[in-house]
Chains A and B, each alone.
Chain A
Amino acid sequence: MSEMPAPTMTEPTVDPSVLAATPVDAQGTPRPVDAVFTVEQLAFFYGANQALRDVSLSIGRHEITALIGPSGCGKTTFIRCLNRLNDLIPGTRVEGRIDFNGSSLYAPGVRAIDIRRRIGMVFQKPNPFPKSIYDNVAIAPKVNGIRANMDELVEECLTRAALWDEVKGKLRDSAFSLSGGQQQRLCIARAIAIRPEVILMDEPCSALDPVATIRIEELMVELKSDYTIVVVTHNMQQAARVSDRTAFFTVDVSEGGRTGMMVEVGSTEQMFTAPSDQRTDDYITGRFG
């Protein structure tokens, strides 16, 4: 896995006319007071294709922020910008600004590896290491030099991920012996084992059945007290059930290509009851998407 040089980064040149056209918070929603991420005018390119534009939002600490929108609207691309996972793809470029705890994520001198140790991620499909259940949780803390009683840490993380009772007797079994839902909870345990501040979840339930989905959702709400969670979801009910704030993305085809863009962001209640943009209203009422 080659580490690509950090994508080039340009400081935003924000002139007032652009600001006027940028997405606004849904009416009456205050911005989060304590923001982990502050994103301004983010745009993302795969080579010459612009995949994302006009993303400006703040992600509040100990909140669950849901990203919703139709397929191809750049939700996944956006969430992968937050832990610089897109660095792995050659020829990609980021414009705009992402601040993580007040300092620029893409500034020169910031190592992506250090960032990723503070920002955990859970993927669309469970992707445990081809190792034992125990090792799946223990590997990352071990190589990242976390000094702790490993057995205690493994138990603690598996307990937090609501998996301990199901696996405590077979920690040495392969992770692949678990069911899909269990594997996904193992991946959550693996993510919290490095003690991150943020957990990014990219459609964590898309490969799971309804029962496993409910378990993951309960888990997200429970983890909120210790972690900041950003979750991409296709499932609007899920966003409504678990999130504190919701951002709506859509696809813009007006300039020929298919570019994802953020339409608006606001408290989940506001977004689902009184969105300020017609497109959001159309999407959540099922008129498209």
Chain B
Amino acid sequence: MSVAVDRRPDPASAPRLPGRARRLVRAHRARRRARLSELTRPDRVVRGVLLVAAIIPTFALAFLAYQMLKYAYPAIVFNGWHVFTTKFSLGNQYSTAVQVRHGYKAPKGAVYGILPLLFGTLISSLIALFFAVPISVAGAILLVERLPVRVQGFLGIFLELLAGIPSVIFGLWGIYTFGPFLSRTVYRWIADLHIPWLRGPTGAGEGLLTASLVLAVMIIPIIASITRELVRSVPPLAKEGAVALGLTPSETVRFVVIPYIKTGVIAASILGWARALGETIAVLIISGDLLGAYPHSIFDPFSTIATTIASELDSALTDSTGMAVHALAEFGLVLLVVTLLTNLGGRLLTRRFSAAGLPVGRGV
């Protein structure tokens, strides 16, 4: 029977490193000093500039998060779990009557419920993804695999132009052109099917579906341009393997191209999703703005967290207790958390797919 023996050196009896190790450490430190002193003056300047540049984004994010948290803190204490309710009202800001909870004051009747906004944010961005991902992937594959190089470059320019259009233009286009057109044509037809959630008055084309579709158009350039690069990076040898087996071009796409790009497409979609989650002005213009209630159909007005912060900030600033602004800051914080969570989820998803043995970055 053996007894476990602790072979680690006793700290009391071996207070110092053995001589050889000590010499090694000393030599390492000397080398490091020499390396730094070997830097010329311009080297040192460049090193300093790079260091500052590397630190700035980290600090900016930390500072932003700190400020948001500090600003939202009174609302977090005041609302408690009540922030997860439906009703939203800034209260009677013209009366001097206030309500006090946990030592923080707010106008009488003020309720800051975020649930419909959270719902609006998630549902509009998910509908946008539902349309944008297939269109982007199909478009990118078509562009790279089926079209001559010259046409590819030409159409690629349009993709980049689309990405550069200011979102307010998308909003105006959605409310004046795209929405009314859809309402007159496609929406009528969909509403006539009488499917729950897809029926009801289609109005002038404002509302959830139009906003989601405009969001889709806005995130297509993001997803499609990344997917295009992914499709281009599929090794020709892998595709030739499929062709040499007598597979047709579309079978080659199915069995080679799509498995190769799958992980990357997920990552690209997460990027597009993040953009859709936070998009403000275009959605605000088209959404029809519905506070304190859920949309009853896909054609109804709705609000997102971002649009509510933008639309309510003006009124909130007139709140003499200051709680309205704190509440909007809390909403902002929730949006930040949602974005971070989707990002994290996407990372986990891509890692899971990579772990399935995809040759990402192995250049097979």
Contact of A125 among B237, B243, B259 (CB under 8 A): B237
Knowing A2-B249, A125-B237, A130-B256 are in contact, say whether A176-B359 is a contact too (CB < 8 A).
Answer: yes
- 0 or 1 for each of B7-47: is its CB under 8 Å from A? (1 = yes): 00000000000000000000000000000000000000000
Of B235, B237, B241, B358, which contacts A176 at CB under 8 A? B358
Judge whether B256 and A143 touch: CB under 8 Å.
Answer: no
Contact present for A117 and B358 (CB under 8 Å):
no
Chain A: which residue is nearest B252 at the CB level?
A: A1
Residues of B within 8 A of A1 (CB): 145, 239, 242-243, 249, 252-253
Q: Say whether A42 faces chain B, with CB atoms less than 8 Å apart.
A: no
B364 interface hit (Cβ, 8 Å): yes
How far apart sit A3 and B245, CA to CA, in the bound complex (Å)?
A: 14
Q: How many of B's residues come within 8 Å of A, CB to CB?
A: 29
Interface segment out of the listed A65-73, A187-195, A256-264? A187-195
Which A residues are CB-close (under 8 A) to B358? 130, 174, 176
B146 within 8 A of A: yes
Inter-subunit contact A174/B357 (CB<8 Å)? yes
B241 touches A3 (CB 8 A): no
A146-164 contact mask (Cβ, 8 Å, vs B): 1 or 0: 0000000000000000000
Given contacts A85-B244, A130-B359, 10 further A-B contacts (CB under 8 A): A83-B244, A125-B237, A127-B241, A127-B364, A129-B259, A140-B247, A143-B251, A143-B255, A175-B357, A176-B358
Which one of B238, B240, B253, B255 lies within 8 Å of A139 (CB-CB)? B255
B253 CB to nearest chain A CB (Å): 7
Task: Convert A113-133 into 0s and 1s, putting 1 for each residue whose CB lies closer than 8 angstroms to a CB of B.
Answer: 111110011011111111100
Q: Are A131 and B255 in contact (CB under 8 A)?
A: yes
B-chain residues with CB within 8 Å of residue A116 when the two chains form the complex = 243-246
Q: How large is the interface on A (under 10, 10 to 19, 20 to 34, 35 or more residues)?
A: 35 or more
A177 to B259 Cα, complex, angstroms: 15
Answer whether residue B54 sits at the interface, using C-beta atoms and an 8 A cutoff.
no
In the complex, A237 has a CB within 8 A of chain B: no
Chain A CB count within 10 A is highest, among B240, B246, B255, for B246
Chain A positions near chain B (C-beta within 8 angstroms): 1-3, 83, 85, 88, 113-117, 120-121, 123-131, 139-140, 143-144, 173-177, 187, 190-191, 194, 200
Nearest CB of B to A159, in Å: 19
27 cross-chain CB contacts under 8 A: A1-B145, A1-B242, A1-B252, A2-B145, A2-B249, A88-B243, A113-B246, A114-B246, A116-B245, A117-B245, A121-B244, A123-B240, A123-B241, A123-B244, A124-B237, A129-B238, A129-B242, A129-B255, A129-B256, A129-B259, A130-B358, A139-B255, A143-B255, A144-B245, A173-B357, A176-B362, A190-B241
CA A200 to CA B260, docked complex, whole Å: 25
Query: Most chain-A Cβ atoms within 10 A of its Cβ — which of B145, B358, B364?
Result: B364
Cα A140 to Cα B256 in complex, Å, equals 12
Contact between B240 and A127, CB atoms less than 8 A apart? yes
Q: Which chain B positions have C-beta within 8 A of A121?
A: 241, 244-245
Closest to B259 in A: A130
**Bound CA–CA A165/B132 (angstroms):** 45
B248 contacts the other chain (Cβ, under 8 Å)?
Answer: yes
Q: Which of A1, A2, A116, A194 has the most CB of B within 10 A?
A: A1
A131 and B259 contacting across the interface, CB-CB below 8 Å:
yes
Residues of A within 8 A of B56 (CB): none
A4 to chain B, nearest CB (A): 11
**Distance between A241 CB and nearest chain B CB, rounded to angstroms:** 25
Cross-chain contact of B240 among A88, A114, A126, A140 (Cβ < 8 A): A88
Given contacts A127-B235, A131-B255, contact A176 B246 (CB under 8 A): no
Question: Considering the chains assembled together, what is the distance between the CA atoms of A139 and B247 in angstroms?
Answer: 9
Bound-complex Cα distance A187 to B260 (A): 17
Shortest distance in angstroms between A133's beta carbon and chain B's nearest beta carbon?
10
Interface digits, B179-194 against A, CB 8 Å rule (1 contact, 0 not)? Answer: 0000000000000000
> Nearest residue in A to B256 (C-beta to C-beta)?
A129
Q: Are B245 and A140 in contact (CB under 8 A)?
A: yes
Residue B3 lies at the interface, judged by CB distance under 8 Å to chain A: no
Question: Contact at B364–A125, with CB atoms within 8 Å?
Answer: yes
